[in-house]
Amino acid sequence: MMEKLFTPFTIKNLELKNRIVMPALASFLIGNGGSISEATVEQYRRRAGGGPAMVIMEACAVSPEGVVSAHQARIDNDRLVEGLARIATAVKEEGAVPAIQIHHGGRQTSVRVIGRKPLAPSALPCPLIRGDVDPLTVEGIGQVVQKFGDAADRARQAGFELIEIHGAHGYLVNQFLSPFSNIREDAYGGDIAGRTRFAREIVEELRRRVGPDFPLSFKISAEEHVQNGLTTDSSIEILKILVTAGIDVVQVSAGNDMTPEWISQPMFMKKACLVDSAARVKKALDIPVMAVGRINDPRTANEILVKQKADLVCMGRGLLADPELPNKAHQGRIDEIRTCIACNTCMQSIFKKGRIECLVNPMLGREKEMAFIPTRHPKNVMVVGGGPGGLNTAWVAAKRGHHVQVFEKRSQLGGQLVAGSTPGHKAELRTLIRFQKKQAEIFGVKCHLNHEVTVEDIQAVNPDVVVLATGSQPSLPPVDGIDKDIVLTYEDVLKPESVSCEKAVIIGGGPTGLEVALHLAENGCSVTVIEMLPKVGQGMESVTKKVILEQLKKNHVTLQTNTRLLRIEDTGVVVANQRNPEQFLAAQEVIMAVGTRPDTGLYEKIKSLGYEIHQVGDCLEPGSAKDAIFHSAVLGRKI
């Protein structure tokens, strides 16, 4: 079914067992000064053991001023070789080729991180970080080239078998390549040859250091999606120069510091959205091409190869979500793959918590502490509620050896994920439901649908443990008219059979309100969103928020902030803000998206009956699917 994906491939003399590559992704498991811990090694061991042909270690800074985070991997000192070697060894022991990416942040860092002004090609600061920069002198350029060469020497000493130069995503090499960030007037600026000179000298230095047979890769942002940025046409001309200089393979990415949505594409962007650029590069060059970008399932990956759009496929977030993805695909166990849903929780957790986390895979970065340990005392566990929290608790507990039953009042499992997957841009949430159901089936969980549990049901089952995952109910604000027929909840609107109206007002501009607004607008509805706060999308991951706001604008959705609901009438709502004490907005539907309240009814009835009771998910405290899955994973391991 996916034969092409699992055919061998060769880069120079480097033999790859299949076409799947894990690209360099920041783990945020690196200690101060670039130290490597057991958790770091275990993260790479797990991904390599899952069956990819090659694992590229995350971007390693070649010099202290090139670091972009205190948690960045480093390769700027000989003392680091021993730790890096532990990763290379672990990857190789698991049957994958160990590769490494070397990197310099350039202007895309700050004085706070590196203790000095960042280096840059020109006197243009990073548009997001801002702050003064130091334009590199010709002598300084030569020193950085030497540092890349020194890094290559260390990479070989550590046992890595391919080196990739990070020439993408707005970092230093990319900054030189692009007229967006390079306005030099000397030999390192101007036309394509001038702007490519820095990258060419790095490639030539690496080739001199590693010899003619060692494979070198180059990662490029073929399309930067900014004015005066790189395009696929200009990137092809750059790559032709670099091929002559000595690169053997290219990874075709996109985006820079101003367009992060093209670097880590959210679910609002289509699968494999960078592949057309990769295909054009492949057609123009006579070296292998790696495709990257929202390639999150093996069927999509195989299709890219069959259509000859690339030679290798990079699956990054897909292997964070499920490190066993390649093995499962090779064995035909597609329904058992825990698919990345492109929610960008991994990115949000990095910036908010300083560590990487995954919505669908709570074990990410906690591989040892969340290992499955069989129970010594099997129990009868009754789970009430078949949403993400309940299902996850159920199969985790069952995998450990408990006897588990799930009772769901609806006709299908999945809870709020069912409604949440209705909008086209969130359809991949269904893969999470599929995964949870399959795990429950594999580990013998008995599921009872259309069964709203009563106290008598619990007494009849008489379980050792009761897990309440009864979810939450949409909150309704205490305003006049809230009981009118015109009022709906977001769940009502997201039912698959729901028909879009011509005009709607959504109360609440949080993530749910914006997602419902986009869904209705894409189905022909005129939508206005009312939000009391100064900004919409509070708590939303920044890249996802940027993209959804662009989509809302494209679909002519009106956003009214600093506005509160006064009352609801038969044909619309009356709202108020500083400009207008009373404004009538006509609507056929008024949709409430102002949050939820826990459904604790059953808990209140049974809490005094003497059972061991646990609550998980929204019935404990309304939150995200990520919270429900994490806490249920912990609960399933401790029952």
The rounded distance, in Å, linking the Cα atoms of 165 and 101 is 6
What are 99's strand-pairing partners? 56, 162
Which residues are bridge partners to 22 per DSSP? Answer: 55
Helices vs. strands in the chain: H and E counts, helices first = 21, 28
- Kindly report the backbone phi and psi dihedral angles of residue 592, in degrees, each rounded to the nearest multiple of 5, phi listed first: -90, 120
Helices (H), 73-213: 81-93, 111-114, 138-158, 172-177, 192-210
Check 44, 171, 188, 490 and give the catalytic one: 171
Find all residues with CB under 8 Å of 385, minimum gap 6, and list them: 406, 407, 408, 415, 468, 469, 470, 471, 617, 619
| Contacts of residue 101, Cβ cutoff 8 Å, sequence gap at least 6 | 24, 56, 57, 58, 59, 60, 163, 164, 165, 166, 219
Going by their DSSP bridges, the two strands 503-507 and 54-61 should be labelled as unpaired
Radius of gyration of the chain measured on its C-alpha atoms: 27
Which residue type is seen at 246? G
Residue 603 annotated to the active site: no
Spatial separation of the C-alpha atoms in residues 491 and 593, rounded to whole Å: 9
Which of these, 76, 100, 118, 353, lies nearest to 257 by C-alpha position?
118
List CB contacts of 40: < 8 A, sequence separation 6 or more. 27, 29, 30, 31, 83, 87
DSSP for 197-221, please give it: HHHHHHHHHHHHHH-SSS-EEEEEE
Question: Among candidates 29, 24, 31, which has minimal Cα distance to 364?
Answer: 29
Phi, psi at residue 110, to the nearest 5°?
Answer: -145, 165
Return the SS3 of 65.
Answer: helix
Contact assessment for residue 102 and residue 72, using Cβ atoms and an 8 Å cutoff: no
Q: H or E element: which one contains 585?
A: strand 583-586
With vertex at residue 420, the alpha carbon angle to CA 419 and CA 422, rounded to the nearest 5 degrees, is: 70
Query: Residue 135: beta bridge partners?
Result: 120
571 CB contacts (<8 Å, ≥6 apart)?
486, 586, 587
Q: Measuring CA to CA, which residue among 240, 220, 99, 231 is closest to residue 164?
A: 99
For residue 36, what are its two tokens?
């490597």
**Strand duo 564-569 + 572-576: pairing:** antiparallel
Token code pair at residue 263: 């670097």
DSSP state of 561: -
Task: At 291, list the tokens.
Answer: 């495709």
Tell me the C-alpha distance between 318 and 295, whole Å: 8
CB atoms within 10 A of CB 224: 28
Phi, psi dihedral angles at 214 (to 5 degrees): -80, 130
CA dist., res. 176 & res. 170, Å (int) = 9
Give the residue numbers marked as catalytic: 171
